[in-house]
Amino acid sequence: MKGLTALLRQPRSLFTHMVALLIGAMLVAKLGSWTASLDDKAATVRRTHVEEMLPRIANTSRIMGILPRELRQKTLSGIRARETRYSVDDKPLLSPDLVLTDPQAIAARDRLMDLLDLPRSAVLFKMWNKAENAEPSWFHNPWAAIEPVEMGMKFSVRLPDGQWLNAVNRRTIQPTVWSSTSTWTMLTSILMVALASFYISRRLSRPLRDLADRADRLGRGEAVPTLEAERGPEEVRRAAHAFNAMGARIRRFVDDRTRILAAISHDLRTPITNLRLRVELLDEGETKTRMLETLDELRATVEATLSFTRDELGEEAVRADLSTLVESVCDDFADTGHPVSFSAADRLPLICRTGSMRRAIRNLIENALAYGGTARVSIRTDGTEAVILVADDGPGIPENDLERVFEPFVRLESSRNRRTGGVGLGLSIARSVVHGHGGDIRLHNRPGGGLDAVITLPILSGPHHEGLIYRKAA
């Protein structure tokens, strides 16, 4: 059932194409065998009918040969069959110059000659299909057997006294190709091939589907497990090995970069502290004040970087309830008197690094409070995704800077005052955290004023939802 659902939901997928190819190939093969069977059945019916008629004509000819002329017509009227019309005439019904080209017609004429022991000139024979002047050609048109077909034969046999026994036989052949047995056999074979196609296609396409899913998650910055590289054809296994090696190299590169950043930030703390101690010894004045502000900003930058790298390197992902996690962050702000409101949907299970996720949400709320005065946080679901909205009533951000503000250390002086705090890492850290969880973050200016920060995250469903511990993340 899942395979059929995937087939209908993704008509352009490799799985769908493979199923269609296998079933299409089977149908073509079935069509070919069915066409051949039509030809065989039509030829068999035709041959059987001819074999039945030849002895009848031979026996009738012998009887007419020993009867007086005056009794022949009367006798024929008594043996006239429904499909055959007999007559005794002075001339043959068929032309003596008739040339046969159909091998079956030639064989039938020769067989009648043997039965009567007569020369070729004394036995004239013709067969037709539908049109009287057309030679039968089931081999040329096997499709004719799917409809009722009228076939016919004409005989002219010379009697001992010179008269001719003429006979015309017409018979309508009913098609027998659509018998219940044939229909059930074809339907059963189609069903079996379809089931085999589903199984083979899913087995071949599953490694590629897993590879595409993991590549997409890796491209969003999410940590992904290694692929099973022993499934599928050789080409798929090689692609899985290459992807695993690429993912390992990327993880090593990111971890090394994070460790280097953490080491640099840690080493900067001591010289910054020494500089601050020396500045404190200076006389009071504007120069000292500016130097202290600069050192405070450097210290804040270093502390933010260290905090972020500690979260990235030391925290394991766990199952948590997103609604509870975000609510706990909002409660922390509300407990200190900040105007932060929160509304949530039902429980939203999520695998995440709770410390990093709290930091991302906190950064967005701090921005909303600093530049909009209030923060309204809400959570809703959109299919398999959770949508977190942090709205403020601030001046917003110019449209051409909505993406640039996510770059590290970027501050928009027209709307962001340096005295409000922050070093330009909050949004960059938030986006890095969200990307690391397979989600995305966007900023939107509202038409009536204010800024919306929108986070989308994939949520768990089905069996993953069971066994979760819903608690406020510490």
Task: Quickly state the pLDDT bin for 140 (edges 50, 70, 90).
Answer: very low
For the cut 80, the answer to whether the pLDDT of residue 51 exceeds it is yes
Average per-residue pLDDT in the chain?
Answer: 77
**What confidence score (pLDDT) does residue 178 get?**
56
Residue-level pLDDT at 282: 82
What are the structure tokens assigned to 180, written together? 């219940």
Q: Does the structural domain 316-474 have CATH classification 3.40.1130.10?
A: no
User: What CATH topology corresponds to 220-314?
Assistant: Helix Hairpins (1.10.287)
- Give the number of residues written for the chain: 474
Q: Is the pLDDT of residue 272 over 50?
A: yes
Pairing label, strands 385-392, 451-458: antiparallel
Per residue in 457-472, pLDDT (tens digit) is 887 654 333 333 333 3
Strand partners of residue 389? 378, 454
Domain with CATH 1.10.287.130 in the chain: 220-314
Residue 441 backbone dihedrals phi, psi, to 5 degrees: -140, 135
Question: Which segment of 3-17, 54-68, 76-90, 118-132 scores lowest on mean pLDDT?
Answer: 3-17
Q: Which of 78-92, 93-107, 228-242 has the lowest mean pLDDT?
A: 228-242
State yes or no: pLDDT of 133 exceeds 50: no
> Is a pLDDT exceeding 70 seen at residue 12?
no
Mean pLDDT of 302-320: 70
pLDDT of residue 41: 66
3-state secondary structure the chain: CHHHHHHHHCCCCHHHHHHHHHHHHHHHHHHHHHHHHHHHHHHHHHHHHHHHHHHHHHHHHHHHHHCCHHHHHHHHHHHCCCCEEEEEECCCCCCCCCCCCCHHHHHHHHHHHHHHCCCHHHEEEEEEECECCCCCCCCCCHHHHHCCEEEEEEEEEECCCCCEEEEEEEEEECCCCCCHHHHHHHHHHHHHHHHHHHHHHHHHHHHHHHHHHHHHHHHCCCCCCCCCCCCCCHHHHHHHHHHHHHHHHHHHHHHHHHHHHHHHHHHHHHHHHHHHHHHHCCCCCHHHHHHHHHHHHHHHHHHHHHHHHHHHHHCCCEEEEHHHHHHHHHHHHHHCCCCEEEECCCCCEEEECHHHHHHHHHHHHHHHHHHHCCEEEEEEEECCEEEEEEEECCCCCCHHHCCHHHCCCCCCCCCCCHHHCCCCCHHHHHHHHHHHCCCEEEEEECCCCCEEEEEEEECCCHHHHCCCCCCCCC
Q: How confident is the model at residue 441 (pLDDT cuts 50, 70, 90)?
A: very high
pLDDT of residue 229: 64
With 0.75 as the threshold, say if the pTM is over it: no
pLDDT of amino acid 375: 94
Distance in angstroms (rounded) separating the CA atoms of residues 223 and 351 = 11
Report the pLDDT averaged over residues 394-420.
Answer: 72
The confidence score (pLDDT) of residue 220 equals 60
Residues of the chain above pLDDT 70, percent: 77
With bands split at pLDDT 50, 70 and 90, how would you rate the model's confidence at 391?
very high
User: Where in the sequence of the chain do the CATH 3.30.565.10 domains occur?
Assistant: 316-474
